[in-house]
């Protein structure tokens, strides 16, 4: 009887949570760290793809995939043949003093596009702010057609990291100028506000056509710039149009006519923003869009087996975890409204995909894909 009284008093006095964890104990959640290892993988004796579809789900970690698995039905990533795990930290600060483990999309985008780490905020430049050649630029040099698709502004950190070189990600007007003078064959997404008419004229004078509707026909051989919103495209839950998959279909129809192959980076940009907003509904909608995109890309790969499809993330955002809610619903919880250093998965199917069955640093993805393009 005394034990029962003690237990009731303890529960009602708040000493224990529902899981029996003592709350009044002293804790220190600041722990020391050690210098990390950037794990490498080997691509020896691997098949080389003719074309590459590189999907980046911004801000998407295991928690976001768990949300999708339990709330969106069909789980498209299960169709991939190979899966691995990726560390995403930047090269920002010294590990004995100010070393950062949490990346932003610019540093991680540059690591993925070039195979080289840099500081947070850097777009296609190293720690000395010198340009780094990206896999898209290597693809251009090899005569491949190239494309960038995003649901953010096309000048946002991730797409910018593949075709621009600036010292700070917020310089989107400067990034747009570099895009207008670049050799990227196709660019689709949002961000018309960074493309004044004078810049559109420069783009068109450089052999490009500007469209605001995917139904618009373009001349054969013309580069294509499609901007479908002044800023980012609408959320999925607000009725995104065009959808990520519609843009991907348009892009592949444009790119796959080239006998020398193609490289395209497609970013499902706004999963990250759902993490920043701590909005499970936002994440669920964007993950549904990613699911549709994956199914389309893998259907395409089945018909075109010389194509490699790779899916990963630049980082995780929000520290997302799935818990049981009431009446069988999900209770989605967040540890922050910013990025975390949590590992993210990588999925792959097609020639050369088996090298991604590993734990790796994010620079290894950029290195391996660039080697495939060079070969």
* Count of beta carbons in the 10 Å neighbourhood of residue 75: 15
- Report yes or no: 330 and 70 within 8 Å, Cβ to Cβ: yes
Distance, in Å, from the CA atom of 193 to the CA atom of 265, rounded to the nearest integer, reads 22
Residue pair 278/318 in contact (Cβ under 8 Å)? The answer is yes
CB-neighbour burial class of residue 85 (10 A; exposed 0-12, middle 13-18, buried 19+) = middle
- CB within 8 Å of 27: residues ≥ 6 apart: none
Active-site residue, 105 included: yes
CB 350 within 8 A of CB 27: no
Stated length of the chain: 375
Q: From the centroid of its chain, how far is CA 222?
A: 28
Beta bridge partners of 254: none
> Would you call 309 exposed, middle or buried from its count of C-beta atoms within 10 A (0-12, 13-18, 19+)?
buried
State whether residue 151 is helix, strand or coil: strand
Q: For residue 34, give the 3-state DSSP assignment.
A: coil
Q: Of 51, 68, 105, 340, which is the active-site residue?
A: 105
Distance CA 341, CA 138 (A): 29
Host H or E run for residue 82: strand 82-87
CB-based burial label for 357 (10 Å; 0-12, 13-18, 19+)? middle
DSSP secondary structure letters along 357-373: SSEEEHHHHHHHHHHHH
Q: Within a 10 A sphere around the Cβ of 168, how many other Cβ atoms?
A: 14
Query: Computed over its alpha carbons, how large is the radius of gyration of the chain?
Result: 22
What residues act catalytically?
Answer: 105
């Amino acid at each position: 009887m005394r034990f029962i009284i003690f237990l009731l008093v303890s529960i009602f006095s708040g000493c224990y949570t529902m899981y029996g964890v003592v709350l009044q104990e002293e804790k220190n959640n600041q722990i020391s760290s050690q210098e990390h290892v950037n794990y490498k993988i080997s691509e020896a004796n691997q098949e080389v793809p003719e074309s590459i579809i590189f999907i980046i789900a911004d801000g998407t970690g295991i928690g976001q995939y768990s949300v999708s698995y339990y709330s969106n039905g069909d789980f498209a990533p299960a169709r991939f043949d190979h899966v691995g795990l990726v560390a995403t930290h930047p090269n920002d600060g010294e590990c004995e003093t100010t070393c950062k483990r949490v990346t932003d999309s610019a540093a991680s985008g540059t690591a993925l596009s070039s195979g080289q780490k840099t500081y947070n905020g850097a777009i296609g430049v190293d720690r000395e702010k010198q340009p780094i050649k990206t896999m898209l630029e290597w693809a251009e040099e090899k005569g491949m057609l190239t494309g960038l698709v995003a649901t953010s502004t096309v000048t946002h950190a991730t797409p910018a990291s593949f075709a621009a070189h600036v010292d700070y990600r917020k310089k989107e007007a400067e990034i747009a100028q570099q895009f207008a003078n670049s050799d990227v064959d196709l660019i689709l997404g949002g961000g018309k506000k960074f493309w004044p008419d004078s810049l559109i004229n420069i783009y068109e004078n450089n052999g490009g056509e500007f469209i605001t509707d995917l139904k618009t026909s373009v001349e054969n051989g013309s580069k294509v710039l499609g901007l479908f919103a002044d800023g980012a495209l609408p959320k999925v839950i607000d009725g995104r149009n065009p959808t990520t998959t519609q843009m991907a279909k348009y892009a592949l129809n444009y790119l796959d006519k080239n006998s020398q192959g193609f490289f395209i980076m497609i970013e499902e940009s706004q999963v990250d923003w759902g993490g920043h907003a701590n909005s499970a509904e936002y994440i669920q909608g964007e993950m549904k869009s990613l699911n549709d995109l994956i199914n389309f890309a893998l259907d395409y790969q089945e018909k075109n087996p010389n194509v490699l499809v790779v899916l990963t993330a630049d980082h995780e955002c929000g520290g997302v975890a799935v818990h049981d809610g009431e009446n069988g619903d999900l209770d989605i919880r967040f540890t922050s409204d910013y990025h975390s250093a949590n590992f993210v998965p990588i999925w792959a199917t097609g020639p050369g995909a088996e090298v991604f069955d590993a734990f790796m640093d994010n620079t290894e993805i950029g290195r391996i894909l660039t080697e495939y393009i060079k070969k």
